[in-house]
Structure 1
Amino acid sequence: MKAVPIKDKFNHKIEKIAVSDIRQFDTEVSSIPGIIKLTLGEPDFNTPEHVKQAGIKAIEDNQSHYTPNPGIMPLREATAAYFNEKYHLNYKPTQVITTIGATEAISVALQTILNPDDVVIMPTPVFPIYKPITEINQGNCIMVDTSADGFILTADKLRQVLAENQAKTVKALVLVYPSNPTGVTYSRKDLEELAEVVKEAGIWVLCDEVYAELTYNGQHTSLAEIIPDQVLLVSGLSKSHAMTGWRIGYLFGPEDFVEQAVKAHQYMVTAPTDNVQFAALEAMTNGKEDSQVMKAEYLKRREFLQAELAEAGFEVASPDGAFYLFAKIPAQFEPDSWAFVRRLAKEAKVALIPGISFGPGGEGYVRLSYAASMENLTEVAKRIKAFVAAN
């Protein structure tokens, strides 16, 4: 019998999106002999020993079963206490969902709030995850270039964008800070001004604050402290505790939101991994200062690399957090970030990410991750300076 072709074979939304070009480029350059990659946001530290031991003990204790959908209650209690203490928040344990990394938290949040053709405002440059997740969930995006305002979204700009799109159903604003890719963050004053516009507009704010503990210029302020009823707060342990591979994230929100979000979470992943939650519990209970050692080292690397790049002729956005530098390509080169990073990889054996990968406002820039050893950063600086000098 002849097989009948499957009609309309794939989800049209999936067909229209692409695999991250950041990952594609990282794979592309990995085969170059002697290449040093500053491409991915992957801490070069190991998970703290006490956290690892808690994970091992959980396995030995046969913590290998289904847990409640939003995670074990001791972890939700410890997580609420941890974030409340650090960032002056007021979350109950029932307002926390434990997720499979921050990525799942973003997916759950957007799936929970979006109806077909709802609009999400995204300040750019921004890590290229929020737009495809929005589109998969039948939403539309308005990308707002912030490069003229020091890579922050001002209250005036947000008010202008809302006024220009009154005919559309604007449902949410995405705010990522400290920022990937720029390292720029928002002051309390910035956030208070944005909060006034958000309240007037009656929209959600999806706040990805996964780099909060890597804030270098003063204390991180969460928008959830200012307008908790309108904030969906995303965080996790990947950056603060060097636990990228453990895949633990958190989603906080108002109680009525959590009641709905737990459904999306349940049907997406059932529940978080059992033994990993006990490692996370140890991190939340006894690892409140674990990030400080890493933060101090990142700060040294930032100062070194920023100075070296300035000497080579790069202008760098104000890197107040995370572990990235967003550097403007020197004037003697064409501002084609793909052409620049491909030449740099081939001729200098240094791999960076092109700024255009992060959307409007990113062209003409490159992103460097300084989550790498000082030995590698020293060699990278040497190679970049020689490459620029030769051109």
Structure 2
Amino acid sequence: MPGRLDSVEESATLRLADLTGELKKQGRDILSFNLGEPDFSTPANIIEAAAKALRSGKTHYAPSAGIPELREAIADKLKKENGIDVAGNDVLVTPGAKQAIFYACFSILEEGDEAIVFDPGWVSYDACIKMSGGKTVWVKSNEDGSLPAELPEHVSNKTKLIIINSPNNPSGAVLGIKDLRLVADVAGDNGLYVLSDEIYEKIIYEAKHLSMGSIIPERTITVNGFSKAYAMAGWRIGYATAPKPVLQNMLKVQQHTVSSPTTFVQYGALAALTGPQDSVERMRLEFKQRRDVVIKGIRGMGLRCEMPQGAFYAWPKVDGKSEEWAERFLEAGVGLTPGSAFGPHSDDHVRMSYASSMEDIKKGLERMAKLLGGGEGRTEDKRQR
């Protein structure tokens, strides 16, 4: 008898990162560009706030929804920066943004329901939908990352949820107001919820971040966290705000699974929001420098690659199956993630994370260029770059 997890694939990004780590242990010289984790250290004021909380005895259970001070600080941030008018009681603090995404899917989807995910899309959306008993309906994004006008054609009487992610993992595309209004109109016309994953909002370059919750708050679940903007990936701390019926169900799931986020970590998150923000800007500028080097290098190999407007990923197009290309690059000493992990329409891309040192990035690009040096598999883009 098939089980509920039989259709759920292992996380491709984590699996490939583990494989790369294993090859390194075997003595192989591998440069890994798989994981989406900032390589910077967590800012000192955040570490000190968590350490102070530990020393002062903040080691007991916290309120399941999060400590009041942090919930209030998040609500204040959402009002000022995102145009989402909520109070602290409208916020749920979670052990990472991924957990909040799962809670939302589990709270909204019943067996057989459908959720729309734009392709390319982060690997765990599909898994969260399936674990919730739902089915993923993949909708291919336009080549530049914008959303297709044909979106309404993919809505059925089983559709309950649309998931958007801006800036996008893996493409780095940023949704504009036209995209958000399209989704808002479809959601409003059909009584759907929208899950807006905004984890990369601070890592944005020429574009401007817009929040769906400021357009259609009564239908939007906004998810965010601290791992990307504040280099706090290992701290596992995120948050969500949502319409009250959904938020209440998300809280129930948290109460009966993890109980609450780690107590002292929440004080670190509070310091992240209320303390100096200069480290966020320094990291953003460094990522932008790396992006420019990566895109120039990839295009110089003859590969077509859209300019990412946010996040820290390059999304080059390859000629052939992405897993075969990932294997070839791995043999050349470069760990990349095959595009097939990000949706059924993305098997002709690979993802390269540039959350690595500039030294490693330049070495990795050299190895990739050497592999492509003979011209085999080149997908020359004749358009203006």
> Which TM-score tier does this pair reach, normalised by the shorter chain?
over 0.9
Which 10-residue stretch deviates more, 24-33 or 107-116? 24-33
For residues 335 and 266 of structure 1, the distance between their equivalents in structure 2, rounded to whole angstroms, comes to 46
Q: Does 1:285 align with 2:270?
A: no
For residues 268 and 143 of structure 1, the distance between their equivalents in structure 2, rounded to whole angstroms, comes to 29
Answer whether contact 2:31 2:333 (CA < 8 A) is retained.
yes
C-alpha displacement of 1:290: 3.2
Which 10-residue stretch deviates more, 53-62 or 108-117? 108-117
Q: Secondary structure at the match of 1:82?
A: helix
For 1:186, the aligned partner's letter is: L
For 1:344, the aligned partner's letter is: F
Q: Does 1:51 align with 2:51?
A: no
For residues 83 and 212 of structure 2, the distance between their equivalents in structure 1, rounded to whole angstroms, comes to 11
For residues 89 and 219 of structure 1, the distance between their equivalents in structure 2, rounded to whole angstroms, comes to 16
Q: Secondary structure at the match of 1:328?
A: coil
For 1:280, the aligned partner's letter is: A
- Which of 158, 162, 169 aligns to 2:151? It is 158
Deviation by residue 1:54-90 (Cα, 9 ceiling, x = unmatched): 0100000010011111001000001111222122221
Higher helix share: 1
For 2:99, the aligned partner's letter is: E
Answer whether contact 1:82 1:288 (CA < 8 A) is retained.
no
Name 1:385's counterpart in structure 2: 369
Q: Secondary structure at the match of 1:143?
A: strand
For residues 317 and 91 of structure 1, the distance between their equivalents in structure 2, rounded to whole angstroms, comes to 36
Name 2:120's counterpart in structure 1: 125
Name 1:36's counterpart in structure 2: 31
Name 2:322's counterpart in structure 1: 337
Name 1:240's counterpart in structure 2: 229
Within 5 Å, give how 1:303-342 maps onto structure 2: 303-329=292-318, 334-342=319-327
C-alpha displacement of 1:287: 4.0
Answer whether contact 2:192 2:219 (CA < 8 A) is retained.
yes
For 1:258, the aligned partner's letter is: L
Q: Secondary structure at the match of 1:41?
A: coil
For residues 79 and 19 of structure 1, the distance between their equivalents in structure 2, rounded to whole angstroms, comes to 32
For 1:309, the aligned partner's letter is: I
Identity of aligned residues (%): 31
Name 2:59's counterpart in structure 1: 64
For residues 83 and 6 of structure 2, the distance between their equivalents in structure 1, rounded to whole angstroms, comes to 43
Q: Secondary structure at the match of 1:385?
A: helix
Name 1:353's counterpart in structure 2: 337
C-alpha displacement of 1:141: 1.4
For residues 237 and 350 of structure 1, the distance between their equivalents in structure 2, rounded to whole angstroms, comes to 28
Q: Secondary structure at the match of 2:180?
A: helix
For residues 42 and 261 of structure 1, the distance between their equivalents in structure 2, rounded to whole angstroms, comes to 26
Name 1:5's counterpart in structure 2: none
Answer whether contact 2:32 2:334 (CA < 8 A) is retained.
yes
Given the two structures, how large is their TM-score scaled by the length of structure 2?
Answer: 0.93
Name 2:11's counterpart in structure 1: 20
Q: Does 1:254 align with 2:243?
A: yes
Q: Does 1:179 align with 2:168?
A: yes
Q: Does 1:104 align with 2:95?
A: no
For 2:7, the aligned partner's letter is: K
For residues 337 and 221 of structure 1, the distance between their equivalents in structure 2, rounded to whole angstroms, comes to 31
| Structure 2: runs of 5+ lacking an equivalent | 377-385
Q: Secondary structure at the match of 2:286?
A: helix
Answer whether contact 1:144 1:360 (CA < 8 A) is retained.
no
Which 10-residue stretch deviates more, 36-45 or 248-257? 248-257
Aligned positions, number: 371
Given the two structures, how large is their TM-score scaled by the length of structure 1?
Answer: 0.92
Q: Does 1:77 align with 2:72?
A: yes
Name 2:381's counterpart in structure 1: none
C-alpha displacement of 1:289: 4.1
Q: Does 1:115 align with 2:110?
A: yes
**CA separation of 1:296/1:208 partners in 2, compared to 1, >3 Å: closer, same or farther?**
same
* Stretches of 4+ aligned residues off by more than 4 angstroms: none
For residues 259 and 336 of structure 1, the distance between their equivalents in structure 2, rounded to whole angstroms, comes to 43
Which 10-residue stretch deviates more, 211-220 or 63-72? 211-220
Q: Secondary structure at the match of 2:150?
A: helix
Name 1:3's counterpart in structure 2: none
| Structure 1: runs of 5+ lacking an equivalent | 1-7
Name 2:382's counterpart in structure 1: none
C-alpha displacement of 1:296: 0.3
For residues 357 and 134 of structure 1, the distance between their equivalents in structure 2, rounded to whole angstroms, comes to 15
Answer whether contact 1:94 1:255 (CA < 8 A) is retained.
no
Q: Does 1:90 align with 2:79?
A: no
For residues 256 and 21 of structure 1, the distance between their equivalents in structure 2, rounded to whole angstroms, comes to 33
For residues 21 and 381 of structure 1, the distance between their equivalents in structure 2, rounded to whole angstroms, comes to 22
For 2:358, the aligned partner's letter is: M
For 2:364, the aligned partner's letter is: V
C-alpha displacement of 1:186: 0.3
For residues 288 and 300 of structure 1, the distance between their equivalents in structure 2, rounded to whole angstroms, comes to 19
For residues 289 and 225 of structure 1, the distance between their equivalents in structure 2, rounded to whole angstroms, comes to 26
Deviation by residue 1:87-144 (Cα, 9 ceiling, x = unmatched): 2221111111000001110111111111221111111111110111111111111111
Q: Secondary structure at the match of 1:212?
A: coil
Deviation by residue 1:327-374 (Cα, 9 ceiling, x = unmatched): 012xxxx4111111111111x211111111111221111100000001
Q: Secondary structure at the match of 2:41?
A: coil
Name 1:301's counterpart in structure 2: 290
C-alpha displacement of 1:149: 4.4
Name 1:374's counterpart in structure 2: 358
